[in-house]
Amino acid sequence: MNLISGHKEFAAPQDAAIWDIDPYAVETLTAPEPYYAELRARGAFAYIPRYSILACGGYEATKEVFSDHERFASSNGVGLHDLKLEDSWRAPSIVLEVDPPDHAANRRVIMRALSPRAVAGLKERFRAAADALVDQLIEKGSFDAVAECAETFPTTVFPAAVGLKLNDRRKLIDYGSMVFNGYGPDNELRRAALAKSDKIIPWITRSCGRGNLRPDGLGATFFEAADAGEITEKEAELLVRSLLSAGVDTTVASIGNALWCLSRHPAEFEKLKADPSLTRPCFEEVLRYTSPVHSFCRTATRDTEVAGVRIEEGSKILCVLGAANLDESRWEAPTRFNIERRPTGHLAFGVGVHNCVGQNVARAELDAILSSIAEKVSSIEPAGDPEWRPNNAMRFLDRLPITFRPR
């Protein structure tokens, strides 16, 4: 078997367009909408020769691949590298990078830790932290919403909720960069992120140990499951690692992207101020409109067919969630940011057995920060050009200068 970009090389299927694009070029990652549109226009799947992958971005095909864990496995990895064919830079996640039936038991342990009741218990602290931060930002007036809000808020409240004793914002952000850039090809982004391994991995590993988690945090519940014999000690540590992998960059992206949307669509912010019950629909629309996780892969477990395209066993499929969430055949005026849309069925949290298990925590964080802003801020104004931060799996900002005027 020939390996290409870490997975099995396969030929273009007969009915798929062949497209010589680099989805991982910095220009594509920082301005993806034209790539999303062209991907959808080329049919259900496009074969990309340089990586030997099939990319899909139409809503229906993307949803079909993502929903069917029997035909499209996660255990070969959700990035380009096939975890079954190559050693990875980290041990595979026991929830993200695993298939049923093993997946279910591990996911159940996380679901218990992140239950609606457990998350309800965090809301007051999230809101108090949001209020304190928003007061500070109003005091400043103009600031970089990435460094001073989007990165600050989750790296303050989330490690505290997990019960992490060794909190270090910078290391959490650098680890997130390793995880999400790690899903891409061996490009400059991936190499630069993984170059920090020597500093970050020992710290993350230590942070996930039982002794470094407070007994009242979410992480400690995994060790209760270990004590009950439900999972092993090592598995409990890996579940803490999953929280730290999945819970930081995703919410950093969501907050930054939300402030980008609201600062560029002031009429939508006016709607939010007038009706606080739009906080949650506003977040869902930010997710649909910006897709913080822009793409994840699946691997065909057998010869199969989707939308009339024959897919051979072992094919790596790049599911471009960002493209599916802007598909004009699924959404009316998809390029319009409309917080009253209520975009049920968006794929930003995935779909199927692997759909985001932390979505209640994400919603609680965004609810806290957006409600606080809607109550305290009269206008969110651009104070300079936004800069996007290229990342092999995330769509988020590097810099967003804005001004908060008090209400």
Nearer to ligand OVM, 96 or 400 (CB): 96
For 105, other C-beta atoms within 10 Å of its C-beta total 16
What is the distance between the alpha carbons of residues 265 and 325, in angstroms, rounded to a whole number? 19
Nearer to ligand OVM, 246 or 370 (CB): 246
Closest approach of ligand OVM to the CB of residue 246, in Å: 3
For 231, other C-beta atoms within 10 Å of its C-beta total 21
Nearer to ligand OVM, 95 or 309 (CB): 95
Nearer to ligand OVM, 304 or 359 (CB): 359
The string over 137-153, giving b where at least 16 C-beta atoms fall within 10 Å of a residue's C-beta and e elsewhere, is bbeeeebbbbebbbbbb
Nearer to ligand OVM, 5 or 245 (CB): 245
Backbone region of residue 43 per phi and psi (left: phi > 0; alpha: psi in -120 to 50; beta: other values) = left
Closest approach of ligand OVM to the CB of residue 245, in Å: 3
Nearer to ligand OVM, 252 or 380 (CB): 252
- What values do phi and psi take at 221, rounded to 5? -65, -25
Identity of the residue numbered 243: L
Nearer to ligand OVM, 29 or 179 (CB): 179
Helix (H) or strand (E) holding 201: helix 197-207
Site residues (CB under 6 A) for ligand OVM? Answer: 93, 95-96, 179, 242, 245-246, 293
Strand partners, 381: 403
Closest approach of ligand OVM to the CB of residue 398, in Å: 20
Closest approach of ligand OVM to the CB of residue 221, in Å: 16
Closest approach of ligand OVM to the CB of residue 393, in Å: 8
Nearer to ligand OVM, 157 or 179 (CB): 179
CA–CA distances in Å: residue 329 to residues 61, 87, 185, 307 = 12, 40, 30, 15
Closest approach of ligand OVM to the CB of residue 226, in Å: 17
Q: Distance between alpha carbon 249 and the CA centroid of its chain, in Å? A: 7
- 172 contacts 155 by C-beta, under 8 angstroms: yes
Closest approach of ligand OVM to the CB of residue 54, in Å: 21
Closest approach of ligand OVM to the CB of residue 191, in Å: 19
CA–CA distances in Å: residue 213 to residues 90, 163, 361, 383 = 21, 5, 18, 40
